Structure 1
Amino acid sequence: METPRRTLAKAITWQTLGLFTMTVIGFIFTGSVSAGGSLAIASALTGVVFYMIHERVWTRVSWGRLDRS
């Protein structure tokens, strides 16, 4: 089982990667780093929240886990 702190660390590192990716994609589509960055920040903020919820729900699902005891 994961601690909430570990889940948060995973969410932050994942969103950092997403922030960079979305900035590049936004720049490609808009031609503006500012517009691309704004889109990326909005995506990252909502993404962290939903990733945390997603991870916490999946920690309660036993399907697909192997019992290692």
Structure 2
Amino acid sequence: MDVWKGRPRSSATRSVLKTLSWRITASIDTFLIAWFVTGTPWMGGSIALGEILTKLIWYYLHERIWAHINVE
């Protein structure tokens, strides 16, 4: 089975837009969970902000890798 294809299956621009829309959704989720666990919205916000940058980078890399994988 030829899993890796040389040509991406979607554009880099599409991956960036998907990354941003997902990150907003996931950060709201993280904020709400952290607020619930800690009991303070300020701590929830701190936790949510702390994870935004790293997860944006990881998700974008994940998308670009998957754009090259052929599972059909």
Matched residue, 1:26: 34
**Which is helix-richer, 1 or 2?**
1
Secondary structure at 2:71's aligned position in 1? coil
- Name the Cα RMSD after superposition: 0.9
> Mapping of 1:26-45 within 5 angstroms?
26-45=34-53
Unaligned runs of 5+ in 1: 65-69
**1:8-58, Cα deviation, whole Å (9 max, x unpaired):** 100000010011111100000111111111111122211110000001001
Amino acid corresponding to residue 13 of structure 1 in structure 2: S
Q: After TM superposition, what 4+ stretches of structure 1 lie above 6 angstroms from structure 2?
A: none
Report the TM-score, using the length of structure 1 for normalisation. 0.85
Amino acid corresponding to residue 12 of structure 1 in structure 2: L
Identity %: 27
Matched residue, 1:67: none
Report the TM-score, using the length of structure 2 for normalisation. 0.82
Alignment partners' CA distance in 2, 1:41 and 1:5: 24
